[in-house]
Amino acid sequence: MSRAADDLKDFQRFTPKKLPVEEPLAPGHRACQGCGEVLALRQVMKALGNNVIVVSATGCMEIISSAYPQSAWRVPWLHVAFENAAAVASGVEAAYKAMIRKGRIEDKNTTFLAIAGDGGTADIGIQALSGALERGHNFVYVCLDNEAYMNTGIQRSSSTPYGAGTTTSPPGKKSIGQQTWKKNMPAIAAAHDIPYVATGSPAYYVDLMNKAKKASLVKGPAYLHVFSPCPTGWRCAVEDAVQTGRLVVQTKIFPLYEVIDGKYRLSRKVKKPKPVTEYFKLQRRFRHLTEEDVAFIQERVDREYDRLLELCGIAPEE
Amino acid sequence: MAKRVGIEVSIAVSEAVKLANVDVVAAYPITPQTHIVEHLAELVADGHLDAEFIPVESEHSAMSTCCGSSAAGARTYTATSSQGQALMLEICYIAPALRLPIVMTVANRSLSGPISIWNDHSDMMMSRDTGWIQTVAENGQEAFDLTLHAFRVAEDSRVLLPVIINLDGFTLTHVIEPIEILDQKEVDRYLPPYQPQMRLDPEDPVSIGPVGMPEVYTEAKKAQDEAIKGSKEVILEAWQEFGDLFGRYYKPVETYRTDGAETLLVTMGSLSETAMTAVDHMRAKGKDVGLVRIRLFRPFPFEEFLAAVEGAKQIAVMDRALCLNGAGGPLAIEVKAALYDEPERPYIWNYVAGLAGRDVTIENFVEMADGVEAAAADGLRGHYTIINVRE
């Protein structure tokens, strides 16, 4: 496998003035008002263009885009089941490899994209994902993380943040809500020693699109973990979706970074970080948290961010 | 020219897959399927087969990967067994609904628990209603021939359904038999390259696997039902042509010495050969017993089956699986359903035998024939017995 850095050396960045006009994911789908996930997906698709084959896990993005006889997809799209997007994409990629080698089809440098939510990635789909990353298929995996099983009605996943209320992690006299810390999926992906891992947020759309494009340019598996605001599940105002996607970065809760050939690189240094409450107060899933709870979470967020800075070779600031 | 060689049946199956020039094999090891996929991995490693061999991390991913590969337009193969098929079962329901012509060998093995690696038909019965076309091999030659037949049928534009070739674990997979291996030219005459009707291609985008709302789900299922029923014509046609080319003719239901037989045994799989010997013994003693063997399990060949048992007074159906519903074995339940509309129905007794590699002997088949006659004479009800049970 060639090094990702080599694959990316001639990379042409998107800029706000230089964005593609293609919309491989058409408008007119059935997503909720203010959906940050479909926004992120639209940006990823714009970055990848039309020479792509999409494999979708079962989930919000699948149901909102495909109800027969309609389809929002202008590019080839395949949905098989919930937990197997990475395995299905492995098959598509391998089929192309074999058919190209045997001279049955032309090599047009098509991108193979697998998309899944946080449940389809961090919980039920983690085995298939790990297998596909380990085998080294040349594909892009995008986890659209809205931090719970939103399609089934806001049940907690291993990607739900500590303290958040969901329908299966309800806050109560004996519980704070979600009692575990969010699973660090990008680190798990990076541990497979794949060429490219990155985090993104639709609020920073140029950054997200550049990362999606880079993910498609590296040879081998690439993993993109995209923060996907869900007003319906987070109980926030639909007009605040993009703002939550911005605040989650500005509060250091969800830092934007890349891991290229195993090397961590911060995409956006948070110079004057905001307190986590700025992010929490827009969302009713956090409204039960006490000052003490918030302080406990703040301490963890600061520590995790410093740990990331260390991985990126940046000295933490006091 | 075809060559008759002594070869392990699993290896012969892999050679058939190689001759079919598959593009993608995705498989996970499970006893007793292993020799098939090991040999395919070797064929790929040595450059004898130009294919992607994907050593997936589970059977669930094996079938998922096969779905992706087949949807992309590649000729796709996998093999599994028992627990492996149980794990991939979710996707086994989806592959035929997506009309993906995947070919799979199932080295039949009992299901856990208790865990057991030995042969019976529990896995075949588990997947009986998934929508796959299913054939059952009796010997190594059939395993080889049915594999080529499977690709031919699956990929036919009138069918487009996945096909399972059932093969008794160990009893068939691990034995060496004289098998006529066709050469590449012969296979190419029978099996044209796969021409997908529709595939994942950015130049001609399609959406595959959309949500089926209540207003379309029933129609989708009806279409699938029509597809599997309609596949029989192509299955028969492909067998006919196979016979015309290579001299070995196959039928969905085979009969053995059924002329004038008042008592019939009904079997599937490799034990049919033991049953034939038992029939010879009984006929030699003047007993009018015959044998009906089912080769095409899905779609169930109702017409051919009814013709085969016509005139019989009693039937002993052997099942190598047990439905834990108080009704005995699954094959007998189907046979009874098939006969229900007949004005004159034979008496049926079901023998559940050969679970997890338990031997079924010639004597056992004699016992079944005698048993069904006695039960019919006494008008017994209850309708099934598990034989060879150590009390």
Instruction: Label the pairing between strands B253-256 and B289-294.
Output: antiparallel
Name, in order, each residue with C-beta under 8 angstroms of B60's C-beta and a sequence gap of 6 or more.
A83, A84, A87, A127, A128, B87, B88, B90, B91
Angle between helices B271-284 and B362-378 (to 10 degrees): 70
Intra-chain end-to-end CA distance of chain B, in Å: 54
% of chain A surpassing 70 pLDDT = 99
A207: in domain: yes
Nearest to A94 among B50, B58, B69 (CB): B69
Interface test with B, best of A58, A83, A84 (most B CBs within 10 A): A84
Q: To the nearest whole angstrom, how far is the Cα of B207 from the nearest Cα of chain A?
A: 5
- For range A162-180, the mean pLDDT: 98
Radius of gyration for the alpha carbons in chain B, expressed in angstroms and rounded: 21
Query: What mean pLDDT value characterizes chain B?
Result: 97
So what's the pLDDT on residue B383? 87
CATH code for the domain defined by B253-386: 3.40.50.920
Query: Which chain B residues have a beta carbon less than 8 Å from that of A108?
Result: 202
Mapped onto helix, strand or coil, the DSSP state of residue A211 is helix
Q: To the nearest whole angstrom, how far is the Cα of A141 from the nearest Cα of chain B?
A: 15
CA B309 to chain centre: 21
B46, two tokens: 């040595």
A317: in domain: no
So what's the pLDDT on residue A2? 55
CA-CA distance, A8 to A4, in Å (whole number)?
6
Window 78-117 of B: residues touching A by CB (8 A cutoff) are 90-91, 94, 98
CA B359 to chain centre: 21
**B214 CB within 8 Å of a chain A CB:** no
Residue of B391, B385, B356 whose CA lies nearest to B371? B385
CA-CA distance, B49 to B321, in Å (whole number)?
36
B289, two tokens: 């017993």
A48: in domain: yes
What is the interface size between A and B, counted as CB pairs within 8 Å? 159
Let me know the angle formed at the C-alpha of B193 by B187 and B196, rounded to the nearest 5 degrees: 145
Query: Which chain B residues have a beta carbon less than 8 Å from that of A135?
Result: 54-56
Question: Cβ separation of A131 and B58 shorter than 8 Å?
Answer: yes
Nearest to B91 among A80, A96, A135 (CB): A80
Question: Cβ separation of A98 and B51 shorter than 8 Å?
Answer: yes
Examine the pLDDT at B343 and tell me if it is beyond 50. Answer: yes
Nearest to B91 among A50, A77, A84 (CB): A84
CA-CA distance, B323 to B334, in Å (whole number)?
12
Task: Tell me the CATH class for B3-246.
Answer: alpha beta
**B49 CB within 8 Å of a chain A CB:** no
Tell me the whole-structure pTM to 2 decimals.
Answer: 0.97
CA-CA distance, B265 to B272, in Å (whole number)?
9
Intra-chain end-to-end CA distance of chain A, in Å: 40
CA-CA distance, A258 to A263, in Å (whole number)?
8
Query: Which chain B residues have a beta carbon less than 8 Å from that of A67?
Result: 210-211, 213
Is the bond into B113 cis (omega within 30 degrees of 0)?
yes
Examine the pLDDT at A257 and tell me if it is beyond 50. Answer: yes
**B195 CB within 8 Å of a chain A CB:** no
Q: To the nearest whole angstrom, how far is the Cα of B78 from the nearest Cα of chain A?
A: 12
Detail the DSSP E strand segments found in chain B: 3-8, 24-26, 52-54, 76-80, 103-108, 133-136, 163-168, 176-181, 207-208, 253-256, 263-267, 289-294, 296-298, 314-319, 347-352, 384-386
Residue of B297, B361, B304 whose CA lies nearest to B167? B297
Query: Which chain A residues have a beta carbon less than 8 Å from that of B207?
Result: 66, 71, 73, 76-78
Question: Cβ separation of B211 and A131 shorter than 8 Å?
Answer: no
Question: Cβ separation of A68 and B213 shorter than 8 Å?
Answer: yes
Domains of chain B, by residue range, sit at 3-246, 253-386
Q: Which residue is it, tokens 């674990």?
A: B169
Tell me the backbone φ, ψ of residue A51, rounded to 5 degrees: -90, 65
**B210 CB within 8 Å of a chain A CB:** yes
Query: Which chain B residues have a beta carbon less than 8 Å from that of A98?
Result: 23-24, 50-52, 74
Torsion sign, CA atoms B102, B103, B107, B111: positive
- Listing DSSP states for A225-286 in one string gives EEE---HHHHT--GGGHHHHHHHHHHTTSS--EEEETTEEEESS--SSPPPHHHHHTT-GGG
Q: What is the pLDDT of residues A89-116, one digit of tens each?
A: 999 999 999 999 999 999 999 999 999 9
**B18 CB within 8 Å of a chain A CB:** no
Domain harbouring A161, CATH code: 3.40.50.970
Query: What mean pLDDT value characterizes chain A?
Result: 97
Q: Which residue has the higher pLDDT, A142 or A3?
A: A142
Q: To the nearest whole angstrom, how far is the Cα of B378 from the nearest Cα of chain A?
A: 53
So what's the pLDDT on residue A1? 45
CA-CA distance, B104 to B135, in Å (whole number)?
11
- For range B63-85, the mean pLDDT: 98
Residues written for chain A: 318
Q: Residue A133: which domain range?
A: 4-311
B356, two tokens: 């997890």
Name, in order, each residue with C-beta under 8 angstroms of A259's C-beta and a sequence gap of 6 or more.
A186, A190, A196, A197, A198, A265
Write the CA distances from A61 to A49, A65, B304, integer angstroms: 18, 6, 47
Query: Which chain A residues have a beta carbon less than 8 Å from that of B52?
Result: 94-95, 97-98
Interface test with B, best of A64, A88, A106 (most B CBs within 10 A): A88
B3-246 against B253-386: fold identical? yes
- Listing DSSP states for B313-378 in one string gives SEEEEEESS-BTTTTB-HHHHHHHHHHTT-SS--EEEEEE--GGG----HHHHHHHHHHHHHHHHH
Question: Cβ separation of B52 and A63 shorter than 8 Å?
Answer: no
Residue A106 is which amino acid?
A: E
**B61 CB within 8 Å of a chain A CB:** yes
- For range B380-388, the mean pLDDT: 92
A186: in domain: yes
Count of structural domains, chain A: 1
Question: Cβ separation of B90 and A81 shorter than 8 Å?
Answer: yes
Nearest to B65 among A50, A87, A108 (CB): A87
% of chain A surpassing 90 pLDDT = 96
Q: To the nearest whole angstrom, how far is the Cα of B61 from the nearest Cα of chain A?
A: 5
Which chain B residue has the Cα nearest residue A74?
B205
Mapped onto helix, strand or coil, the DSSP state of residue B126 is helix
Question: Cβ separation of A94 and B205 shorter than 8 Å?
Answer: no
Q: What is the pLDDT of residues B257-279, one digit of tens each?
A: 999 999 999 999 999 999 999 99
Query: Reading across the β-sheet that carries B253-256, which strands appear in turn?
Result: B253-256, B289-294, B263-267, B314-319, B347-352, B384-386
- For range B92-101, the mean pLDDT: 98
Question: Cβ separation of B68 and A92 shorter than 8 Å?
Answer: yes
Nearest to A80 among B51, B64, B213 (CB): B64
Residue of A194, A245, A203, A247 whose CA lies nearest to A223? A194
Q: What is the pLDDT of residues A201-246, one digit of tens each?
A: 999 999 999 999 999 999 999 999 999 999 999 999 999 999 999 9
Q: What is the pLDDT of residues B296-328, one digit of tens each?
A: 999 999 999 999 999 999 999 999 999 999 999
Residue A172 is which amino acid?
A: G
A38: in domain: yes
Q: Are A127 and B98 in contact (CB under 8 A)?
A: no
Q: Are A178 and A163 in contact (CB under 8 A)?
A: yes
Instruction: Label the pairing between strands B3-8 and B176-181.
Output: antiparallel
Examine the pLDDT at B382 and tell me if it is beyond 90. Answer: no
% of chain B surpassing 90 pLDDT = 98
Question: Cβ separation of A66 and B210 shorter than 8 Å?
Answer: yes
Nearest to B61 among A55, A76, A87 (CB): A87
A316: in domain: no
Write the CA distances from B78 to A91, A138, B30, B197, integer angstroms: 12, 22, 12, 21
Interface test with A, best of B102, B200, B216, B221 (most A CBs within 10 A): B200
Query: Which chain B residues have a beta carbon less than 8 Å from that of A66?
Result: 207, 209-211
Query: Which chain A residues have a beta carbon less than 8 Å from that of B51?
Result: 98
